[in-house]
């Protein structure tokens, strides 16, 4: 099988999907779909390339999919686990870590608490840096989310996507990607838990450019009417464990259950996982026929393979 040429990634790093134009985002997603459809054609693309994975937070999907993805492309990955409480910048500066890792590896994936840590790595490393999750953004998740919707629907432009719950890192990257694709996006959150205002403004601007829309809502029933996809996430993310009880009370009316889904247009159900059944989502919804959560989890592998392939194996890359 002859592999189609891989275009270079449209940015030197993947810190935020906000750095990509709508056309550039589509290029990444098209590459992910191509690699998924012709997986064995790219087995040697990154032979001899090494990936550093530095994680301050626990991980199942991000760790396995980047590691397996690098292997599938012919390269190798080395994992540094800092989830026991160590932080980048504590033992030695983030800059020094970047300057060390660039001498040994060809790219860095960082999963951090502070978004600033990923930014510092990208500013100081002479190799590509990929944001594997920070407290502000989760770009690789949003690539898998939108790739999965394209697989199910083809063109996603004009489809209504509703995110219900905390305006967190997953929400931020999702609304960034979806508005760049021309989707009609609604975020439904309690007052005080809305997405970051700057990210909201960028989503509005993207929607105006692509013909989509972005709105905020506090009533879940109003929000999901006519929705083609409904997305939720845990109410307390990693690092917010002390707020679990408080957040459970705040978000109790924002659970996605069978009754709420009745107001949608036979919506797909989406979740980045891990999920807490009986809390943010009912078992009947997440394990029901309209749930695509494991399709999304599978596509984390292919979306991230596209990012790695384009950053390290795209035409014109050394």
pLDDT at 171 over 60: yes
pLDDT at 314 over 80: no
Q: Whole-angstrom Cα distance, residue 21 to residue 294?
A: 28
Tens-place pLDDT, residues 69-126: 999 999 999 999 999 887 888 889 999 999 999 999 999 999 999 999 999 999 999 9
Query: What pLDDT score does 1 carry?
Result: 61
The correct CATH number of 17-138+299-313 out of 1.20.1250.20, 3.40.50.300, 3.40.50.1370, 3.90.45.10 is 3.40.50.1370
* Range 15-25 average pLDDT: 98
C-alpha to C-alpha distance for 230 and 108, rounded to whole angstroms: 32
pLDDT reading at 316 higher than 50: no
Distance, CA of 113 to CA of 238 (rounded, Å): 9
How much is the pLDDT for 242? Answer: 76
Residue range 284-313: mean pLDDT, rounded: 98
Is residue 318 predicted with pLDDT exceeding 50? no
Q: Where are the domains positioned within the chain?
A: 17-138+299-313, 141-296
d(CA 61, CA 144): 11
- Which range (24-28, 185-189, 243-247) has the least confidence? 243-247
**What is the per-residue pLDDT across 239-284, written as a single tens digit (0 to 9) for each?**
777 778 889 999 999 999 999 999 999 999 999 999 999 999 999 9
- Options 3.40.50.1370, 3.20.20.140, 3.20.20.480, 1.10.645.10; CATH for 141-296 is 3.40.50.1370
Q: What is the pLDDT of residue 237?
A: 78
CB 271 within 8 A of CB 295: no
Contact between residue 313 and residue 45 where contact means Cβ atoms under 8 Å apart:
yes
Range list of H helices, 54-114: 61-72, 94-104
Residue 34 has pLDDT above 60, yes or no: yes
Instruction: Give yes or no on whether 17-138+299-313 and 141-296 have one common fold.
Output: yes
How does residue 170 score in pLDDT terms, banded at 50, 70 and 90?
very high
Active site residues: 111, 138, 141, 233, 272, 300
Q: Are 165 and 196 in contact (CB under 8 A)?
A: no
315: confidence class by pLDDT, cuts 50, 70, 90: low
Q: 173: exposed, middle or buried (C-beta count within 10 Å: 0-12, 13-18, 19+)?
A: buried
């Amino acid at each position: 099988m002859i592999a189609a040429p891989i275009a270079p990634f449209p940015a030197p790093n993947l810190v935020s999907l906000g750095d990509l134009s709508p056309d550039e985002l589509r290029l990444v997603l098209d590459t992910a779909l191509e690699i998924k459809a012709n997986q064995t054609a790219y087995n040697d693309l990154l032979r001899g390339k090494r990936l550093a994975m530095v994680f301050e937070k626990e991980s199942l999907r991000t760790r396995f999919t980047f590691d397996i993805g690098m292997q599938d492309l012919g390269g190798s990955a080395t994992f540094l686990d800092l989830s026991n409480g160590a932080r980048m910048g504590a033992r030695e500066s983030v800059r020094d870590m970047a300057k060390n890792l660039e001498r040994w590896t060809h790219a860095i994936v960082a999963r951090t608490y502070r978004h600033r840590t990923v930014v510092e790595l990208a500013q100081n490393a002479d190799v590509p840096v990929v944001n594997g999750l920070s407290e502000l953004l989760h770009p690789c998740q949003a690539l898998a989310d939108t790739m999965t919707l394209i697989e199910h629907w083809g063109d996603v432009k004009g489809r209504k996507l509703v995110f219900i719950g905390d305006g967190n890192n997953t929400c931020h990257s999702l609304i960034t990607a979806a508005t760049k694709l021309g989707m009609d996006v609604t975020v439904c959150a309690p007052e005080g838990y809305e997405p970051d205002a700057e990210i909201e403004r960028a989503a509005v601007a993207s929607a105006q450019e692509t013909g989509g829309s972005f709105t905020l809502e506090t009533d879940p029933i109003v929000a999901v009417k006519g929705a083609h996809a409904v997305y939720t996430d845990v109410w307390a993310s990693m690092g917010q464990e002390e707020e679990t009880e408080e957040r459970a009370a705040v978000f109790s009316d924002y659970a996605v259950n069978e009754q709420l889904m009745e107001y949608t247009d036979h919506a797909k159900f989406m979740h980045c996982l891990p999920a807490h059944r009986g809390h943010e989502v009912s078992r009947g919804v997440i394990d029901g026929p309209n749930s695509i959560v494991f399709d999304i989890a599978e596509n984390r592998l292919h979306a991230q393979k596209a990012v790695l392939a384009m950053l390290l194996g795209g035409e014109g890359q050394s």
